[in-house]
Amino acid sequence: MDGFVVPNNSATLAFDNIDLSYGRWDNQQLYRIKDFALLGEQYVDSSEGSLVCLATQTSVERLNSLPQVAANWQGKMSVALFAAGPEEFVVLQYFVTYMRLCFANIRENATFHLLTPRDFDKLPRVAALPLNMRGKFDCQYPDRTLKALLKFRSLKTLQWRQRNTYPQNHMRNLARKGCQTKYVFLTDIDIVPSTNSVPQLNHFLRTANCTKSCAYVIPTFEIDVRATFPRSKNALVRLIRKGLARPFHEKVFIYNQYATNFSKWLSSNTNDTEVSVSHIVTNFEFLYEPFYISVDNAPAHDERFLGYGFTRNSQVYEMHIAGYQFYVLSPVFTGHWGLQRKQARPAWREQQNNANRRKFDVFKSEIFVRYKNDPRLLLKAKKNQILVK
């Protein structure tokens, strides 16, 4: 591993005391779960002083995003990790060790939970990583570090990953329940919060007066990789004017975030020190998928949805049917690297999407009964009233 610099021999590998041959099952007995597999050194103390925790989830390939997330989110983080087999578990051990040694906020405030598939033990094991892996890590290059570690996965493990769906909703539920605060900010691992979000949000949430079931939407933007991550809303607006940033999924699938009403947010108060409600979401779209903060009594993510398609939006849609009101906050925001383009999706992704679409019809009928609220009937009643008039 040329040029790979790393923890000294006295460093203890993350999860060294974890036995993955047992753990609690998910509802379908497809996955084993290890809650609080590794606790942040200040995780318990930070829970007492903060109202909000960032809950996020990832497969092993994307974990290199966490250092930047942690640099901007100086507070409590609950991170759900997926390991497809023993090889990926070893990669997680080394990379989590690396992050805890290199990044103080991850060591102090990030707590990790593990999820593994039922047939975990049937996949290949890593014989042994080179002894020099316990030398020194280069803290400046998390991307390079993870890339080097991922080379230890065998072809059999990679083929398993292609055949099996990533359990996104299991992971979201696991991360959510790992938070020990009143409010949870649920994200994906590659969604980077704006700087100073934690103190700003804590101040806002201490005085938030929500009489209904509320969710606070944090607008998300795509940022060109040539740009520097904006340190304020004003800096973000300047990037947008230069064509170096734009609303998340605007060119790929606009309805994903359309109801946030970015135009209204961009024209609202740009005070960069105090969080306030910019506006209320009034044009809820069926496929709306905002990243939001809410009290953790919001509906769970339905774990029947595996892989891609209908995973986040099904949960947000249930919130809508249950009567939640969505409030868009300013000046806080989140960023996702790269201006996305429409590309032909791989066949496996479209297959997963179609499978989940079929499940959604059943799910939708269930939540209409659960909340005694079928928007189709309400729409029909309104049309009848118009005809009578």
Q: Are 220 and 338 in contact (CB under 8 A)?
A: no
Quick one: DSSP state of residue 27? T
* Structure confidence at residue 187 (pLDDT): 98
Q: Are 138 and 145 in contact (CB under 8 A)?
A: yes
Element (H, E) at 86: helix 86-102
Token pair 């990832």 is found at 58
Asked if residue 130 has pLDDT above 90, the reply is: no
Q: Are 99 and 132 in contact (CB under 8 A)?
A: no
Q: Are 99 and 67 in contact (CB under 8 A)?
A: yes
Cα distances (angstroms) measured from residue 362 to each of 146, 227, 248, 357, 371: 40, 44, 29, 9, 15
Name the amino acid, one letter, at 240: I
* Structure confidence at residue 229 (pLDDT): 98
- 329: three-class secondary structure by DSSP: strand
**Cβ neighbourhood burial of 240 (10 Å; 0-12, 13-18, 19+):** middle
Asked if residue 44 has pLDDT above 70, the reply is: yes
**Cβ neighbourhood burial of 84 (10 Å; 0-12, 13-18, 19+):** buried
Residue 4 CA, distance from chain mean position: 29
Q: Are 353 and 308 in contact (CB under 8 A)?
A: yes
Cis amide bond preceding 331, omega within 30 = yes
Q: Which residues contact 196 (CB under 8 A, 6 or more apart)?
A: none
323-357 pLDDT per residue, tens: 999 999 999 999 999 998 877 667 778 888 888 99
* Structure confidence at residue 6 (pLDDT): 46
Question: Bigger pLDDT: 205 or 138?
Answer: 205
Alpha helices in 136-288 (DSSP H): 142-150, 155-163, 168-177, 197-207, 233-241, 262-267
Element (H, E) at 337: strand 334-337
Q: What is the mean pLDDT of the chain?
A: 88
- Which tokens is 144 given? 């390079």
* Structure confidence at residue 7 (pLDDT): 47
Confidence of residue 46 (pLDDT cuts 50, 70, 90): low
* Structure confidence at residue 93 (pLDDT): 94
Integer Cα distance of 167 and 31 in angstroms: 9
Predicted model pTM: 0.91
Which region holds residue 76: left if phi is over 0, alpha if psi is between -120 and 50, else beta? beta
Token pair 């290059």 is found at 141
253-302 pLDDT per residue, tens: 888 899 999 999 999 876 778 999 999 999 998 899 999 999 989 999 99
Integer Cα distance of 197 and 331 in angstroms: 9
- Which tokens is 11 given? 């460093």
- Which tokens is 272 given? 């960069």
Question: Bigger pLDDT: 59 or 127?
Answer: 59
Question: Bigger pLDDT: 30 or 163?
Answer: 30
Asked if residue 182 has pLDDT above 80, the reply is: yes
- 34: three-class secondary structure by DSSP: strand
Question: Bigger pLDDT: 325 or 12?
Answer: 325
Domain ranges in the chain are 24-170, 194-375
Q: Are 312 and 281 in contact (CB under 8 A)?
A: no
